[in-house]
Amino acid sequence: MIKLLRIFFGLILLVLSASVFWTSFSFPQAVSAGKRIPGPGFFPILLSVFLFPGGVYQIIAGLKTPWSEGGKIVWNRGTANVPVLLVLLLAYVPLMEKLGYTLATFLFGMLLMLRLKVPFFKALLVAVSTTLFIVLVFGRVFHIQLPRGIIGFPL
């Protein structure tokens, strides 16, 4: 079972890496003073470059894992976090377009931390501060246009 999970996870990473890489090329180019500079596609492309070797590693590790290793997977709150995280990630992208980057990122962070049993006010503080930091750095400093959504955020 562990063998198949590692291979399956590696395949998911490869597909995710390829789809992020491909989609990033549809982002607008950034030009400053007549020169091309890293734009909104830079970070997703960088992320996909790191995800790809991780996927290959997981597939190779899965192929090397003996069938007898690991036995059954015990279903508990910890193992249930994996599908919950996948659902949150899959919902994050369409919500980002609808609600805007700021609100979707805040909700994603808040829900994820609450799922991981972070106390409410600590989760709130971290979600707000992380979201504001990202919006200020990428939106204000690097002038990357983040999805505004129905509310009109980011700041």
CB 96 within 8 A of CB 104: yes
For residue 134, which amino acid is it? Answer: I
Q: What pLDDT sits at residue 6?
A: 85
Give residue-wise pLDDT tens across range 104-146.
999 999 999 999 999 999 999 999 999 999 988 888 887 778 8
CB 44 within 8 A of CB 23: yes
Q: pLDDT grade, residue 67 (50/70/90)?
A: confident
Q: What pLDDT sits at residue 113?
A: 94
pLDDT at 70 over 70: no
Q: What pLDDT sits at residue 72?
A: 65
Give residue-wise pLDDT tens across range 2-50.
778 888 889 999 999 999 888 888 877 777 777 777 777 778 888 889 8
pLDDT at 71 over 70: no
Q: What pLDDT sits at residue 23?
A: 86
Tell me the CA distances in angstroms from 121 to 23, 59, 129, 153, one per residue in order: 36, 39, 12, 23
Say what the pTM is.
0.61
Mean pLDDT throughout 55-61?
93
Query: What angle, 0 to 180 degrees and rounded to 10, lies between the N-to-C axes of helices 101-115 and 77-99?
Result: 170
Q: Rounded to an integer, what distance in angstroms lies between the CA atom of residue 65 and that of residue 153? A: 47
Of the CA atoms within 13 Å of residue 125, those in its CB half-sphere come to: 5
